[in-house]
């Protein structure tokens, strides 16, 4: 078994990575979670929160929209002050966080972060959870109203924003929180700090406050599964793609004879490899035909986005490269880095094969899922062109039916792991 000391990953840095990924859904507005976290932390300071509660409020701001995967949902949340279906992403976020112990304390506030204050009074939750949920609701609406004015006239628009929110004091928002906002916003710095270049620096400064305990490998896997779920919900055609790529890559790693730790890290990289697709427009992912040159150029950016999300997490440098290289070819014909063949590790080569294999198994908007023989024929063509590693493809062909069943989701992780003992 691998020892946890061989992989030390900080929870706060992973929370920042989740926010970075989820905020990509906003397309041209990719710092919403950071701004909500900043606003919540500033109001917490104004209210005399403990340092622990200020940190909690900041992290909650980063996590509050973890249930948002599509452009349409993001657009509705931004364009309506009280969208009737806002509860959907709150419930998804709750479900994702509640069963993961290191983040379970955020689940109830996330569930209620669009619940009006007057209704929160009738719900059987603690006052602390109710206050944190409402703090995020207020911070979220402050940012939504302010967003059109950043980098331009935010200091002129602030009066209108305050007046708008004061109308909802006591109904949507706890009057105490609104009063704290009215006091905090009198400082121009409150607003200026919300502009992209400043709030990004603030977030990375907060990232220096490390969690008390690093994540164990099982916890990191579970958190990676949460992130995989978020990205796979982006399109109905990619449901469970990341999970099945991870399982197949792990199986190939085991079959290749890699160590427990390498196989664990390959699995994590597989779960995270498509995070950057959260920044790919929905209509491109769901297009029922070939992409045009512009659409293809946009699609080809997603693996770099994955790299940017992961590379800032200390201890994840190898995993970041393996995940981001899943469209690279040994012949330099892939994208977006074009590494030399010697720089494509065996782990990255395994994930590349697993990604193509699983994608060919799934129904996509432009074709039906393929048969095992059809898949291996395409893999052979990629070997002949110099794109894929022949040894890995031969390994997949040797275990063709087992790989096919894993790619279809018909084998559990326990069954895959048991292969090591055979």
Does a structural domain hold residue 233?
Answer: yes
pLDDT at 94: 98
Does a structural domain hold residue 302?
Answer: yes
pLDDT tens digits for 151-168? 899 999 999 999 999 999
Q: Tell the burial category of 23 from Cβ atoms under 10 Å away from its Cβ (0-12, 13-18, 19+).
A: buried
201 and 223 share one domain: no
Three-state secondary-structure class, residue 182 = helix
pLDDT at 1: 36
Residues in contact with 171: Cβ distance below 8 Å, sequence separation at least 6, in sequence order = 116, 117, 118
110 and 164 share one domain: yes
190 and 234 share one domain: no
155 and 275 share one domain: no
- With CA atoms as reference, report the closest residue to 270 among 248, 306, 254, 246: 246
199 and 333 share one domain: no
> Residue range 384-400: average pLDDT?
97
Model confidence band, residue 369 (pLDDT cutoffs 50, 70, 90)? confident
Domain finish residue from 206, 229, 246: 206
Domain finish residue from 206, 229, 252: 206
345 and 322 share one domain: yes
Give me 84's structure tokens.
């009737």
The total number of structural domains in the chain stands at 2
Three-state secondary-structure class, residue 215 = strand
pLDDT at 207: 81
pLDDT tens digits for 298-339? 999 999 999 999 998 999 999 999 999 999 999 998 999 999
192 and 243 share one domain: no
Whole-number average pLDDT of the chain:
92
pLDDT at 412: 65
For residue 341, what are the domain limits? Answer: 217-421
418 vs 341, which has greater pLDDT? 341
Does a structural domain hold residue 350?
Answer: yes
Place of tokens 């799934």: 362
Model confidence band, residue 2 (pLDDT cutoffs 50, 70, 90)? very low
Does a structural domain hold residue 21?
Answer: no
Distance CA 156, CA 84 (A): 31
Domain finish residue from 206, 232, 260: 206
pLDDT tens digits for 17-30? 999 999 998 777 88
Does a structural domain hold residue 19?
Answer: no
Largest CA distance in the chain: 69
| Alpha-carbon radius of gyration of the chain | 23
190 and 252 share one domain: no
113 and 70 share one domain: yes
Residue 222's CATH number: 1.10.3210.10
Does a structural domain hold residue 236?
Answer: yes
Does a structural domain hold residue 9?
Answer: no
Q: Would residue 277 show up in a list of annotated catalytic residues for this protein?
A: yes
225 and 271 share one domain: yes
pLDDT at 71: 87
pLDDT tens digits for 64-121? 999 998 888 988 998 888 999 999 999 999 999 999 999 999 999 999 999 999 999 8
Rounded alpha-carbon distances, angstroms, from residue 17 to 120, 137, 166: 30, 22, 33
Tell me which of 34, 250, 265, 277 is the catalytic residue: 277
Does a structural domain hold residue 392?
Answer: yes
59 and 186 share one domain: yes
pLDDT value at 61 more than 90:
yes
């Amino acid at each position: 078994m691998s020892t946890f000391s061989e992989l030390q990953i900080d929870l706060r840095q992973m929370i920042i990575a989740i926010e970075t990924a989820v905020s990509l859904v906003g397309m041209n507005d990719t710092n919403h979670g950071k701004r909500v976290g900043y606003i919540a932390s500033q109001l917490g300071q104004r209210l005399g929160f403990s340092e622990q509660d200020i940190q909690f409020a900041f992290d909650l701001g980063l996590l509050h929209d973890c249930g948002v995967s599509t452009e349409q949902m993001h657009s509705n949340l931004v364009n309506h002050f009280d969208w009737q279906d806002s509860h959907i992403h709150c419930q998804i976020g709750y479900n994702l966080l509640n069963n993961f112990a290191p983040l379970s304390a955020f689940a109830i506030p996330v569930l209620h972060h669009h619940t009006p204050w007057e209704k929160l009074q009738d719900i059987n939750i603690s006052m602390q959870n109710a206050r944190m949920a409402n703090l995020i609701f207020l911070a979220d609406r402050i940012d939504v109203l302010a967003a059109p004015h950043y980098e331009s006239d935010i200091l002129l628009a602030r009066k209108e924003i305050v007046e708008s929110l004061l109308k909802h004091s006591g109904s949507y928002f706890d009057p105490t929180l609104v009063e704290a906002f009215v006091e905090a916003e009198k400082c121009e710095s409150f607003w200026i700090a919300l502009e992209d270049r400043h709030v990004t620096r603030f977030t990375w400064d907060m990232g220096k406050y490390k969690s008390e305990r690093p994540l164990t490998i099982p916890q990191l896997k579970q958190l990676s599964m949460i992130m995989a779920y978020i990205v796979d919900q982006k399109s109905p055609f990619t449901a469970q793609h990341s999970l099945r790529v991870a399982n197949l890559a792990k199986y190939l790693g085991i079959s290749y004879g890699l160590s427990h730790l390498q196989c664990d890290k390959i699995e994590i990289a597989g779960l995270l490899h498509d995070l950057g697709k959260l920044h790919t427009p929905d209509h491109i992912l769901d297009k029922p035909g070939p992409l045009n040159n512009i659409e293809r150029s946009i699609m080809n950016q997603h693996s770099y986005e994955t790299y940017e999300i992961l590379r800032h997490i200390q201890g994840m440098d190898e995993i970041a490269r393996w995940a981001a290289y899943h469209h690279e070819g040994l012949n330099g014909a892939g994208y977006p880095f074009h590494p030399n063949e010697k720089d494509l590790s065996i782990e990255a080569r395994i994930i590349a094969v697993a990604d193509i294999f699983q994608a060919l198994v799934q129904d996509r908007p432009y074709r039906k899922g393929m048969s095992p023989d059809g898949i291996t024929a395409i893999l052979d063509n990629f070997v002949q062109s110099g794109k894929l590693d022949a040894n890995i493809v031969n390994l997949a062909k040797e275990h063709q039916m087992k790989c096919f069943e894993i790619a279809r989701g018909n084998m559990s992780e326990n069954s895959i792991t048991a292969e090591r003992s055979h």
